[in-house]
């Protein structure tokens, strides 16, 4: 499988990709990435957290593009009139990123680990993987050792673009369905048990966002 990996993932060959293209249905239709979090837009929080970990950061958004461009990041839209969820953002990133590797993060998860990229990159190198998905302990599970995928937190090689395009064209839409079908897929455990807030806690609703505002790290 090593032939599929022209170079191992390192900071200089990884583009960060902030996913902010959702419809915000559970946020009363508001553009989630632009909602305020501790004095800055949620997406800017993600950009600032990701930038030290990668070569550059781009933003994937489908509305209010001018406001996203104020971050100084390049902003890319999916170019589709139908909602295909985060996988559409994945594909846009794989097709446009200037580096071999793409690291995707959600705009609504303000406490994702500051060393997330290095953990996933090490996992990719260890397993000679082309697609690494974060996996965390589930604080809501009855089994404290239960793990769950964090589907939008992925490190992936750009050679996966055609596979993803084919999956979407066939009507697929679930990240985990596509990812687990790939040769060279591996899940990377990220220790989260006992951490408050949970590093992958996200603002799905206005109530979630208000709750997360009370934490610092």
State the pLDDT at residue 55: 98
CATH number for the domain running over 10-212:
3.90.550.10
Q: Helices 86-96 and 161-169: crossing angle, nearest 10°?
A: 140
Phi then psi for 16, rounded to 5 degrees? Answer: -85, 140
State the pLDDT at residue 1: 41
Which pLDDT band holds residue 58 (cuts at 50, 70, 90)? Answer: very high
Determine how many CB atoms are found less than 10 A away from the CB of residue 130. 23
User: Measured between alpha carbons, how far is 156 from 179 in angstroms, rounded to an integer?
Assistant: 10
pTM here is 0.93
pLDDT tens readout for residues 64-122: 999 999 999 999 999 765 667 899 999 999 999 999 999 999 999 999 999 999 999 99
% of residues, the chain, pLDDT over 90: 79
User: Measured between alpha carbons, how far is 155 from 97 in angstroms, rounded to an integer?
Assistant: 13
- The answer, yes or no, to whether residue 5 has pLDDT greater than 60, is no
Q: Which helix (H) or strand (E) holds 43?
A: helix 42-50
pLDDT tens readout for residues 150-186: 999 999 999 999 999 999 999 999 999 999 999 999 9
Q: How many CA atoms, within 13 angstroms, populate the side-chain half-sphere of residue 22?
A: 24
For range 6-23, the mean pLDDT:
90
User: Measured between alpha carbons, how far is 214 from 217 in angstroms, rounded to an integer?
Assistant: 11
User: Measured between alpha carbons, how far is 214 from 43 in angstroms, rounded to an integer?
Assistant: 18
- The answer, yes or no, to whether residue 131 has pLDDT greater than 80, is yes
For range 47-67, the mean pLDDT:
97
- The answer, yes or no, to whether residue 49 has pLDDT greater than 50, is yes
pLDDT tens readout for residues 26-45: 667 789 999 999 999 999 99
């Amino acid at each position: 499988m090593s032939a599929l990996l022209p170079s191992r993932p390192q900071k200089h060959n990884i583009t960060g990709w902030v996913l902010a293209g959702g419809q915000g249905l559970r946020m009363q239709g508001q553009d989630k990435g632009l909602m305020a979090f501790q004095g800055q837009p949620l997406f800017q929080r993600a950009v600032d957290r990701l930038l030290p970990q990668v070569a550059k950061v781009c933003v994937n958004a489908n509305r209010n593009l001018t406001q996203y461009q104020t971050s100084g990041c390049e902003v890319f839209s999916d170019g589709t009139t139908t909602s295909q969820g985060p996988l559409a953002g994945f594909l846009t990133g794989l097709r446009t990123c200037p580096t071999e590797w793409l690291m995707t993060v959600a705009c609504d998860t303000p406490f994702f680990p500051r060393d997330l990229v290095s953990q996933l990159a090490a996992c990719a190198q260890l397993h000679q993987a082309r697609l690494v998905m974060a996996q965390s302990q589930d604080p809501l599970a009855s089994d404290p050792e239960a793990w769950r995928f964090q589907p939008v937190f992925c490190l992936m090689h750009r050679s996966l673009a055609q596979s993803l395009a084919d999956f979407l064209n066939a009507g697929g839409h679930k990240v985990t369905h596509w990812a687990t079908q790939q040769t060279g897929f591996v899940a990377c455990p990220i220790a989260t048990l006992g951490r408050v807030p949970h590093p992958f806690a996200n603002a799905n609703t206005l109530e979630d966002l208000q709750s997360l505002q009370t934490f610092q790290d």
